[in-house]
Every structure is written in C-alpha cells, then in structure tokens.
Structure 1
Amino acid sequence: MDVLSDLLHRARARNALVRQLIRRPPWSLRFTEPPSLTVVTTLAGHASVWLDEAGADGAVTDGVVTDGAGTASVRLAAGDIALIAGPGGYTIADDPATPPQVVIHGRQKRLVDGSTQAPDTQRNLAPRTYGDGLPGATIMLRGAYGLRGDAGDRLLGMLPPLAVVPAGPATRAALDLLATEATRDEPGQDAVLDRLLDLVLVLALRAWCAGTETAPAWYQALADPAIGEALRVLHEDPARRWTVAELASRVGMSRAAFAARFTALVGEPPLAYLTGWRMTVAADLLRDAETTVAAVAREVGYADPFAFSVAFKRIRGASPSMWRRRTP
C-alpha cells in the first residue's frame, strides 16, 4: 500500500457529508465549526472562499490572496477545487462583499439577522441539494470529512489551511459524477458518495502536490522508483523487522547508497521514518481502551511491550498508558 493510500485508509471517517447549493447571487454561508477537512468546488458560475483568520502580509500563496487586512480570499471558477484544512471557520459566498446570510455551526443552521434571501439556501430541490435552482445560478458542491487520529493529523499536515486546485480534465470528470450521484437517493447511496468523494480528494491532493513546492518530502520521494518502492513496502508491512540492508536489497541498491538517497529525499533515515510511522499507527490503536498496550506493541512490530513503551515515550513524550489517559 502506498503512503497516501495508507494515510487515507487509516484517517478516513465514514459517512462523509456531501451537499450541493444552486443559487443566484447574492448568497453567503459562514461555517463556524467545520470538520477537519472540507472539499469545495463550483460546477457552474463562481464563488469566493476565505478563512476567518489569516495572515496580513498581502502575499499570494497557492492561489490564496491575502488582502493585507487579515482576510484571505480566493475566487473559484467553474471546476476549481478548494481544500480547507483545520479547525478554523470559513465563509463561502458569491463575492467577498456579500455579508453572511446563514451561519452553519456543525449541522445546525442559523439565519443572520436582517437577511431576507437566506431561506432559499434551505429549500430542498433534490436529495442533498438546496437553493433556488433558477437559471444563471452558481452551482456549488461541498464535501465534508471528519478525519480521525494521528493519521488524520498527518494527512492534514500535507496542506495549508486553504489550498486551491485549478480545474482540470481528471478532476472535472470526477466532480460531475459526484454531483450527479449527490442528487440521487438509491440503495447504497452513502457508500457511493463516500467513495466518489475519496476519488475527488485523492485527485485534488495529487494535483496540488504536483503544483507546489511545499508538498511533504515523502510525497515527492514517491516519484523516485527505488525510494517510492521502499516506502510502499514499509507501509504494507510496518510490523516486519526491517533492516536497511533488506530494504536496499528489495529495491536493488547497495545499503550505503540506499540509506543516503532515502535520507536525502524523505528527510530522515529509513528506520527513523519507520519508527515514526509505527508510533502514528500505535497512537491511533491506543485510542481503543479495549486494546492492551501489549497488543498494540505486537501490531507495530514490537515483541516486547517494554521496548515499545520506551520507543513510544521517546517519540511522543509520554508512555503509552499516560498518552492514552490524556487523549480523548
């Protein structure tokens, strides 16, 4: 299993929320308690997205324009995708000048005082589809993820708070399919939407990482045939008692050359990377109070629970038992 697939598999919470809004301007929605990762796109028309808080340096980074007053906004044309990561709130509107009409806190909607057009955003046009549905309307699609655990944090660490992926043929085809399925209500529909949203997310992550210099080192290392293969086997079987020599032999390199290339591309030696990933897996396993420390140790390749506890404390700063008591 490759690194990105492993992260998505371990971090992914089920039952993602997918909603479609079809509405003519002006409209504005503010999200005050969003999930850890949101995918927003416009299928027709345009929209603006900005975070509640942002830097005030007037910079342009990955398509996000900071106006110098602490408010960042990005304009999404048809087919563009915004990935919003982190716990902070954000607003989606037809224009940054449009004041919020609806505040959404979790799954609760509240009309903003003085708004006369906001009720249209709650008119049900089809399954998971809201708005006025009139000609010339913006069509916006929003998918919300609740990522879990340390694997989720590692996945979110790939992204800035707001990343934008320009429209492209691959993502557009997936978005059209997701939009079509979002309006259906047939057996297995939630499973279909979960998988289609995963597809959109993976394609968007690929496109963003390919277009930025700030992608994680391990992602960039996947392009190297030897190091990419080494990362794949480490994630496929993290409990195995890997040695640098065995990994080097697996990818057809000398031990010294492999260790040097892995460290240069990934940013840390092979076994240090493996230990860090094992502790990520272990931290998530420890969230289950019914799983013993000894069982977690075996799951991540430690026959001796004491040796596992020493390694976990060195990486995480607390023993497995203490970490479990501190972590919700």
Structure 2
Amino acid sequence: MDVLSDAVTMMRSGRPHSNISRLPTRWGVRFPPTEGAGFHIVLVGTCWLLPEGTEPVRLSTGDIVLLPHESGHVLADDPDSPLTDFRIGPRVPEDEPDTGRIVAELLCGAYVLDRSRPHPLLAELPDVIHLPARVGHHPRLRAAIDLLGAELAAPGMGATASVSALLDLLLLYMLRTWFDDQSTGSSTGWPAALTDPAISAALHAMHAQPEASWTVRELGARAGLSRTVFAQRFTTLVGRPPMAYLTWWRMTVAARLLRETDASLSSVARRCGYSSEFAFAKTFKREFGVAPGFFRRQPEDTGS
C-alpha cells in the first residue's frame, strides 16, 4: 500500500453518498458542518461556493471543489440568493416555478471519515481544494467523474456497489490531483514528502512493513541517504522524526486491527512490530490513553 491509499483507508468509515442536482434560477443551499468531507462538481453552468470563514469562490463548468474538513458552506447561483437547508437526494427547489430551464447541474457527494486519529497527510489539507477545469489535464479524474455521473443518471444492476467504488476512486483522484499540483515548487510538507524519492521510499517501507524492526540507519539506507541527512530531511518534510512517525503509524494500524478483527493482542503486537505484548500495550496506552483490550471493547465513535 502507498501512503495516500493507507491514509484514506484508515479514515474512511461508512458508505459515501452522491447525487446529481439540477437547479433553475435563484437557488441557494446551506450545508451544515459535518465530520466528513464533501465535494461538488459543476457539470453545467456556474455557481458560487461560500465557505465558512473564507472568501467566496466562483465555480464554472468542469470545476471541482473538495471540502476535506467540511466546516459548513453555502452553494448558490449568487452570493445574495435566498438559502434553503441541504437535504439528501436529487434537488429542484420547491418554491421555483417549473419553467423547464435548468441553469446549473451539479454532481455532489460526501464521505464519512473517522476523525479520531486523522493521518497528518489529510489533517493538513486546506479547508477548500479548488480544482479548476483545464482541457486535457487529469484525464483519469475526468473519466471517474463521467462514470459516476452515468451511474447516477441511469443506475443499472450493481449500481449500489459501483457508485460506492467510484466515489472511493474519485476521492483518491481528487487528492492525487491536488498533491501533484502542489508538489511543483514545494519544498516542505506532505506534497514535497510524497514526491521526494528518498523520503517516499522510506515512507513506503514503513507502510508496507510496519512489523519490521526498522532503525533510522536502515530507513536511511532505503532512502539512499546517510542516517543524519535522512533524519533531518524526513523530519523537515513529514513534521516528525522517522521513529516517531513509525510509532504513530504502528499504533494507527493496531487500532484498526483491534476494531475490525478478532486477532489476539499478541498477534496485533507482532503485526505492528512488537515482540513483547507488554511493550506494545505500554506504547498503545501512551498513544490512546487506554489499554488495547479496553480500547477494543469501547464502542466506535466516528463522529459522523
């Protein structure tokens, strides 16, 4: 698994949903804050995105906006339009006369995310990710949008499974597109870490084999750097030292295993790089504040 896939997999919870909305003149929708992430894709027309606490963004046909932290926003044909509260399902405002004139068509969706332990790669995303339409750019992202739109417009056999899979694919493509765009000229942070051959090699090794007895020297060798240079570069780009990140990732994997499998504590410990169940439990309690067994018995709270 690569880092982006792992980060999304660890945070994704529940089933995403999506719909196509066809909107006539004078419309506005208020979306409440949630613990998930939302997106809007303008298929036809133009509209305004008014995020909570930031400047309005004008969206045109083909534009994509991803709201990773979903702190509440408004979508409208004009910033001064009257608003109605969001509801799930295809939407045409009830107070609008049926003139047959559609001025905007949007593909919208939302993801349920577990915010209890967000991967820093996703936690550090901006509140609004705007991906303007650019002819010839990001063909895979555009293909995923076309497929999802077709499934929603004319559902066939297996549509429930295909829409869910396409939504997961769309999320990855939106994030990949943003990281690719940000990596150009970026010298710090996760966009730089993911595109730095040395640091990405070390991250991939940690994610692929969290059970391995990694040392800074061995990870540096994977990266093709000396121990000191590797440790400094990793800390600068990732935001924490290599061993601190490895421990964080191991405990994140452990929490997922405890929640989703019946594996014994000793088995979970081994799969996360601990030969001693006692050492594993001590580290886990330091990270989560409770012992692994108690954590497993607690009801999961995704905040959704």
The residue number in structure 2 matching 1:184 is: 154
Compared CA separation, residues 240 and 154, structure 1 to 2 (3 A): same
* Residue number among 89, 113, 116 corresponding to 2:95 in the alignment: 116
Is the CA contact (8 Å cut-off) linking 1:101 and 1:111 kept in structure 2? no
Q: Secondary structure at the match of 2:236?
A: helix
Q: Secondary structure at the match of 1:41?
A: strand
Q: CA RMSD in A?
A: 3.3
Report how many aligned residue pairs link the two structures.
294
Within 5 Å, give how 1:1-328 maps onto structure 2: 1-13=1-13, 15-32=15-32, 34=34, 36-51=36-51, 53-54=52-53, 64-65=54-55, 73-86=56-69, 88-104=71-87, 107=88, 116-117=95-96, 134-148=100-114, 150=116, 152=118, 154=120, 156-168=122-134, 169-170=137-138, 171-212=141-182, 217-288=189-260, 290=262, 292-321=264-293, 323=295, 325=298, 328=301
Is the CA contact (8 Å cut-off) linking 1:151 and 1:281 kept in structure 2? no
Cα shift at 1:245 = 2.4
Cα shift at 1:4 = 0.3
Distance 1:99 1:29 in 2: 8
Distance 1:5 1:242 in 2: 21
Compared CA separation, residues 102 and 157, structure 1 to 2 (3 A): same
Cα shift at 1:292 = 4.6
Amino acid across the alignment from 1:117: E
Unaligned runs of 5+ in 2: none
Amino acid across the alignment from 1:161: D
Q: Secondary structure at the match of 1:148?
A: coil
Distance 1:234 1:288 in 2: 21
Distance 2:127 2:154 in 1: 31
Cα shift at 1:323 = 4.7
Distance 2:12 2:132 in 1: 24
Unaligned runs of 5+ in 1: 55-63, 66-72, 121-131
Amino acid across the alignment from 1:137: V
Cα shift at 1:155 = 5.6
Distance 2:256 2:187 in 1: 24
Compared CA separation, residues 320 and 217, structure 1 to 2 (3 A): farther
Cα shift at 1:153 = 5.7
Compared CA separation, residues 90 and 204, structure 1 to 2 (3 A): same
Distance 1:194 1:155 in 2: 23
Compared CA separation, residues 194 and 223, structure 1 to 2 (3 A): same
Cα deviation digits, residues 261-295 of structure 1 (max 9, x gap): 32333232222211111122223333358555434
Is the CA contact (8 Å cut-off) linking 2:188 and 2:236 kept in structure 1? no
Cα deviation digits, residues 225-273 of structure 1 (max 9, x gap): 1211111111111121112222233333333333333233323222221
Is the CA contact (8 Å cut-off) linking 1:37 and 1:144 kept in structure 2? yes
Is the CA contact (8 Å cut-off) linking 2:31 and 2:74 kept in structure 1? yes
State the percentage of identical aligned residues.
39
Distance 2:50 2:263 in 1: 41
Cα shift at 1:11 = 2.5
Compared CA separation, residues 174 and 96, structure 1 to 2 (3 A): same
Cα deviation digits, residues 51-95 of structure 1 (max 9, x gap): 4x42xxxxxxxxx51xxxxxxx32211122111233533322212
Is the CA contact (8 Å cut-off) linking 1:19 and 1:182 kept in structure 2? yes
Is the CA contact (8 Å cut-off) linking 1:15 and 1:190 kept in structure 2? no
Is the CA contact (8 Å cut-off) linking 2:70 and 2:127 kept in structure 1? no
Compared CA separation, residues 174 and 327, structure 1 to 2 (3 A): closer
Q: Secondary structure at the match of 2:66?
A: strand
Distance 2:21 2:92 in 1: 16
